Amino acid sequence: MRVSDGVGLRSERGPILLALMLSTFLIAIDSTVLSTAVPTIVDEFGGFEQFAWLFSIYMLAQAASVPVYAKLSDIIGRRPVIYIGIVLFLIGSVLCASAWSMGSLIAFRAVQGLGAGAILPTTMTIAGDIYTVRERARTQGYLASVWAFSSVAGPTLGGLFSQFLSWRWIFWINVPLCLLALWMLWRNYRQPYERHRRPIDYAGALLLTAALVLIVLALLEGGNGWAWMSWQSVGAFGLGGVLLIAFAFVERRAVDPILAPWVFSSRIVVSTSVVSLFVGVVLIGLVSFVPTFLQSTANAVPLAAGLAVAALTLGWPISAGFAGRFYLRIGFRATTLIGSVLAIIGAGLLTVFAFSPSIPLTAVACFVVGLGLGFVAAPSLIAAQSSVDMRRRGVVSGTNMLARSIGSAVGVAVFGAMANAMIAANGGADSPAAIRAGTIAVFVGVGSAAIVMLIACVFIPPVHIAEPETEPSTERATVAPAED
């Protein structure tokens, strides 16, 4: 049946939106809750030199699986894919909570990452399915608010569990949340179109996944686990490149390829994906380096440093919620340009404030960057989703998420190399002045990435926004009847 107008948790589609928010919350809080528990985990298991893999393997599994899940959501439907994702995340959480060594915990984090690779793009795609273009900015604001809440709640819960219970509870808490998300989706969400059987491109999926694993692995470990010019880096990049070439040849003959040629020939999909890539670069530059900078130069406690970064994710949902009013009046491109300018200003403020480290001033600058990213991320994704029909929307959403993940991996590698070079040239990691010099170099890099993001926004083509009464009925959701 046709859904009544209205966006919000009390509207007719409210239960679906709440289920999507809860599903997003699983991924959002998992990215922050573990950080404060790492010292406790290392005390129990040892393996300090391996703990970075708790984050790297998760990001690797998530990034590599996103394109496959995105395509499957267009073939077999959104419901089974998001169910698979939540169940995998649930299994991974139980396994992580039961881990007996650092190696087993790392392996089980990969299972969680495979679940996250299905959940995040599918929630974005479902939101694109059930809300009109005019309504999506507000729904993106709701979804973005989950990240803001998680940025504060995650480190707090991680610290509380580690100190008063056990670090294992940061994984056990996911079990009831996953079950609740599954129940809410099963009870309330029905797909607004019929599925049609299409052949699955297994060869393309395997080649693309393997190539992404190798390339993202090389980006994450280059300069950290091994030298950039080591045989590991050269081999991973080289073999990943060969597999990508093989993937391109396979896709030319596939009946229904994982990444069809139209993805690369669509100006709006390509331009918004490039924008999303640099959103990932800017985001990771701040999340990764601001806490260390404040702890080393301003004597900030970890919680205060984390709250400074939280200002970034507080600004994001505020601007994402207002973005709809902007792009309905001035268009998607102009809205993203405004956001890019704000991100550049914020990065500039970070650079200036870094010469006299201050927690409040750094938080203000992060907040400005967050405002900018909210005006960029949501409108660019909505513009791309609006350019295709529902049977291609999963691929578009997945391509956008993949680009952001790759941007984060590239950002970690590039900014890490920049920071390390500056720190080494200014006295080493024991010197606060050296840490400050390295961080300033990163902030300049973040500003440069924001400038490139601005240039990419210029190339977003105009997108026609249909009036609600003329928008196709497939843009609306069908809500499941209440079940006894």
What are the tokens at 442?
Answer: 């990163």
What confidence tens digit (pLDDT) does each residue in 307-363 have? 777 788 778 878 877 887 788 888 889 999 999 999 999 999 999 988 888 888 988
| Between 279 and 196, the higher pLDDT residue | 279
Of 379, 144, 413, the C-alpha closest to 275 is: 379
Rounded to an integer, what distance in angstroms lies between the CA atom of residue 346 and that of residue 404? 20
Domains defined along the chain, listed by start:
1-190 (1.20.1250.20), 201-255 (no CATH), 266-466 (1.20.1250.20)
Rounded to an integer, what distance in angstroms lies between the CA atom of residue 307 and that of residue 359? 9
Question: Which 3 state secondary structure label does DSSP give 174?
Answer: helix
Q: Which residues of 202-237 are buried (b: 16+ CB within 10 A; e: fewer)?
A: ebbbebbbbbbbbbbbbbbbbbebeeeeeebbeebb
Rounded to an integer, what distance in angstroms lies between the CA atom of residue 203 and that of residue 312? 40
Q: Give the lowest-confidence range in 267-271, 436-440, 476-480.
A: 476-480
pLDDT at 484: 29
Of 380, 376, 379, the C-alpha closest to 368 is: 376
pLDDT at 143: 77
- Residue 454, pLDDT above cutoff 90: yes
- The listed range with the strongest mean pLDDT (173-177, 221-225, 284-288) is 173-177
- Residue 415, pLDDT above cutoff 60: yes
- Compute CA 379 distance to the chain's CA centroid, rounded to the nearest angstrom: 15
pLDDT at 426: 79
What confidence tens digit (pLDDT) does each residue in 193-222 have? 555 566 666 777 788 778 877 877 777 676
What confidence tens digit (pLDDT) does each residue in 126-146 have? 877 777 777 776 777 777 777
pLDDT at 317: 79
pLDDT at 472: 38
Contact assessment for residue 28 and residue 147, using Cβ atoms and an 8 Å cutoff: yes
Rounded to an integer, what distance in angstroms lies between the CA atom of residue 410 and that of residue 406? 6
| Between 306 and 281, the higher pLDDT residue | 281
Question: pLDDT exceeding 90 applies to what percent of the chain?
Answer: 14
Phi-psi region of 254 (alpha: psi -120 to 50; beta: other; left: phi over 0): beta
pLDDT at 137: 66
pLDDT at 336: 92
Query: What is the separation, in whole angstroms, between the first and last Cα of the chain?
Result: 19
What confidence tens digit (pLDDT) does each residue in 108-117 have? 988 998 898 8
Of 387, 370, 381, the C-alpha closest to 404 is: 381
- Residue 452, pLDDT above cutoff 50: yes
Asked whether the CA dihedral 348, 352, 358, 360 is positive or negative, the reply is negative
pLDDT at 482: 34
What confidence tens digit (pLDDT) does each residue in 60-94 have? 788 778 888 887 877 777 888 889 999 999 999 99
Q: What is the mean pLDDT of residues 256-279?
A: 83
pLDDT at 475: 38
Q: What is the mean pLDDT of residues 365-379?
A: 90
| Between 53 and 480, the higher pLDDT residue | 53
pLDDT at 206: 81
The chain-wide mean pLDDT, for the chain, equals 78
Contact assessment for residue 167 and residue 51, using Cβ atoms and an 8 Å cutoff: no
Rounded to an integer, what distance in angstroms lies between the CA atom of residue 2 and that of residue 20? 20
3-state helix, strand, coil in the chain (%, to 5): 80, 0, 20
H runs (alpha helix) in 76-132: 78-97, 102-130
Q: What is the mean pLDDT of residues 384-410?
A: 79
Contact assessment for residue 121 and residue 144, using Cβ atoms and an 8 Å cutoff: no
- At 479, give phi and psi (nearest 5°): -100, 135
pLDDT at 473: 36
- Residue 280, pLDDT above cutoff 80: yes
Say which amino acid occupies 421: A
pLDDT at 478: 35
What are the tokens at 278?
Answer: 């640099």
What confidence tens digit (pLDDT) does each residue in 137-180 have? 677 777 777 776 776 677 667 767 766 677 788 888 889 989 99
pLDDT at 193: 52
pLDDT at 467: 43
